[in-house]
Amino acid sequence: MTSPPPSPAEESAMRRAVELAATALGRTSPNPVVGCVILGADGTPVGEGFHRGAGQPHAEVEALAVAGDRARGGTAVVTLEPCAHQGRTGPCAEALLRAGIARVVYAVPDPDPTAAGGARRLRDAGVEVTGGVLRAEAERGNELWLTAVRRGRPCVTWKFGGTLDGRAAAPDGTSRWITGPESRQDAHALRAAHDAVLVGSGTLRTDDPHLGLRHGVAGAPALRVVLDRDGTIAPHARVLDDAAPTLVVTGPHTPKPALHDRHEVLRVPVTGGALDIAVLLDDLWARGVRSVLLEGGARLAASFVAQGLLDRVVAYVAPLVLGAAARPVLGDFGAHTLMAGLRLRLGEATRLGDDVRLLLRTRELPGGEAPGAGAGDRAEGRTAGGGVG
């Protein structure tokens, strides 16, 4: 039996559900961000909710609690297919059935095999179900988690601020400030949306970054991850304060740095003289990290590109040129022909003050994998790098 297309009221409710989901970005991993709106039998909104974090009620349960008896005979509009498994909380599909929901409209099928199947369970119980409603909008809102689950590793976003000619610093090493204040504030909001922020040893030595949230951006601090192959991190490094936990990644035989109890050392293999970033991503996945923001520097970004481990790029491009003597934003990753280069898909272009913010992806959204390299594969013609450190 074919379900009817969404009504204008249901599409409006889905847009609201996408907004609700976005309010929890950076706080729900290893779970997705999800929003839900309940429409009463007459089509008017009677409840809404969103998932606030692992172990907390799912969006559907929150919205049903607000709606109460008004949900009976109504419609649940949700950004992700209701789950069908028992985790820290019960299956949302069963909660919807108990509430007497007559119709479910969802945007994105759940790609997690342990949670999928809610739509089938609801249909089997006689509930009218329509999927794929405003899927593109919901995909973008939940992109980090969806990408991670589809690829079995954290979604990796490379963020950089650079000049029009692709330079990250002047020949004398100065880089503050290439981009304007609007870009810097937006970059901190981007940081707040990710579970972890990663820098290499070069950035650690040159910039002594803190990797916290500033510029009035609220949110939970991300896990700070620093690559330190040789164990040279200074005890007084800003990234080792008590503002957030820090994971210091070293080689298997590197002397263990002295750290406060809140911080941790992770040892990973050294491949080709550099830390194995694929092993690092596996470890972060096991910790529940579903998104990583790569913030520096040129060698680190090149290593992720070379191994096919980059998913998105957020570039803040300033109206400035520095010339060939300045430092590039990206190092060599083995692309010596046009065919071997990494061709990105433009998602968004936004003006921020005098700068332009570009969001680019290595694969298309919405949906699963686009044609091309699979998860963790090297693009054809590109050489594999070991890592960086």
Nearest to 209 by CA among 251, 246, 257: 246
Among 32, 80, 81, 77, which residue's Cα sits nearest to residue 52? 32
Angle at 292 between CA 290 and CA 296, to 5 degrees: 170
Helix (H) or strand (E) holding 142: none
Give yes or no: 60 in active site: yes
Q: State whether residue 361 is helix, strand or coil.
A: strand
SS3 68: helix
Contact 280, 249 (CB under 8 A): yes
- 93: which 2 tokens? 């599909």
* Cβ–Cβ < 8 Å for 10, 45: no
Residue 172 neighbours by CB under 8 Å, 6+ apart? none
For the purposes of burial, counting CB atoms within 10 Å of the CB of 272, is it exposed (0-12), middle (13-18) or buried (19 or more)?
Answer: exposed
Q: Where does the chain have alpha helices with state H?
A: 8-22, 59-67, 92-98, 118-124, 135-141, 143-151, 181-192, 201-207, 277-286, 298-306
List 11, 19, 48, 60, catalytic entry:
60
Encoding tokens for residue 121?
């369970």
Measured distance CA(239)–CA(209) in Å, rounded: 6
Longest CA–CA separation in the chain, Å: 69
3-state SS, residue 19 = helix
Residue 156 carries which side chain, given as an amino acid letter?
V
334/332 Cα distance (integer angstroms): 6
Which residue numbers are catalytic?
60
